[in-house]
Amino acid sequence: MASEKAKATEMAQKKIKSNVQKATFDLGALDQVDLNLEALPEVAEQAVMTTPYFSVIAGSYRSIDNAEKKLAQLKANGYDAAFTEINPEGLHRVAYGRFTSKRKALNLHNFIRFSLQEEAWYLEEK
């Protein structure tokens, strides 16, 4: 009896899930909306500073051209490479990856340093 009830409940759940997945909505024609948004400088600055990033740095370059070449090379090798903030000396930092998770950054750092035996260093951006 209990197993029949469980089977019936499971089948009902599958049917509901199937119906939900197949649901479509006709919203009709939507008018185009133009948006002009401007961030207030003080709000944008605060937003940038509130999220810390944990990066694995591949290199720092005085020339933006050299930094862009390294970035393209890392992306071609499958990394989610990105620029970090320019350092206090004006050098452009290129990262193998930037993360909001310290653990993910350290895992990548250790993989690059110890498995691939390539140069990399860890950076906390606050």
Mean pLDDT of the chain: 82
Residue 58 has pLDDT above 70, yes or no: yes
Instruction: Calculate mean pLDDT across residues 25-45.
Output: 68
Evaluate whether residue 108 is within a structural domain: yes
pLDDT tier at 29, thresholds 50, 70, 90:
confident
Residue 13 predicted with pLDDT over 70: yes
Q: How many CA atoms lie within 13 A of 90 on its CB side?
A: 2
pTM above 0.85, yes or no: no
Pairing verdict, β 53-61 and 121-125: antiparallel
The span from the CA of 7 to the CA of 11, in Å, is 6
**Helix, strand, or coil (residue 93):** strand
- The CA distance from 87 to 115, in Å, is 28
Euclidean distance between CA atoms 108 and 111, whole angstroms: 5
Q: Is residue 41 part of a domain?
A: no
pLDDT of residue 34: 78
Q: What is the pLDDT of residue 20?
A: 52
> Could you give the residue ranges of the DSSP H alpha helices within 23-119?
41-50, 64-76, 102-110
Does residue 19 fall inside a structural domain?
no
Three-state DSSP state, 117: coil
Residue 41 clears pLDDT 60, i.e. is over it: yes
Query: Could you tell me which of 5, 119, 103, 101 has the C-alpha nearest to residue 51?
Result: 101
CATH at 102: 3.30.70.1070
Please indicate, yes or no, if residue 71 is contained in any of the structural domains: yes
Q: Which of 28-37, 49-58, 62-71, 106-115 has the lowest mean pLDDT?
A: 28-37
Identify the domain containing residue 103 by its residue range: 54-125
Look up tokens 């009830």; give the residue: 5
Residue 62 falls inside a structural domain: yes
Give the total number of structural domains in the chain. 1
Confidence of residue 68 (pLDDT cuts 50, 70, 90): very high
Residue 25 lies in a domain: no
Tokens, residue 32: 């185009």
Residue 115 DSSP symbol: I
